[in-house]
Amino acid sequence: MKRKYVYIIAIVLSLIYVGSEHYLNLSIEKSTNLEQLESQKYLQSSDFEEELNTNIATDYKAIEPQVSLTITNIQNDKTNIEYKYYIKLNDVSGAYRISRRNEEKYLLFSSTGEVEITLNSNETITIYDLPGGTSYQIEQKGGNSSKYTIKANNIIGTKTNGILSKNTKITFENKIPIKEKEETSNPYTADIYTLAI
Question: Do the domain assignments include residue 12?
Answer: yes
- Mind listing the pLDDT tens digit for each residue in 140-195? 987 666 677 888 888 888 899 999 988 899 988 888 776 643 445 455 544 444 44
Same domain membership, residue 98 and residue 140: yes
Q: What is the pLDDT of residue 45?
A: 37
Question: Do the domain assignments include residue 193?
Answer: no
Residue 62 has pLDDT above 70, yes or no: no
The DSSP symbol for 44 reads -
Same domain membership, residue 100 and residue 27: no
Same domain membership, residue 129 and residue 77: yes
Q: How many structural domains is the chain composed of? A: 2
Residue 117 has pLDDT above 70, yes or no: yes
Average pLDDT, the chain: 72
Min mean pLDDT across 42-51, 109-118, 179-188 is at 42-51
Give the range of the structural domain holding residue 110, as residue numbers without chain letter: 66-175
Same domain membership, residue 126 and residue 70: yes
Segment 127-152 shows an average pLDDT of 84
Segment 47-66 shows an average pLDDT of 47
Q: What is the pLDDT of residue 108?
A: 93
| Full-model pTM | 0.56
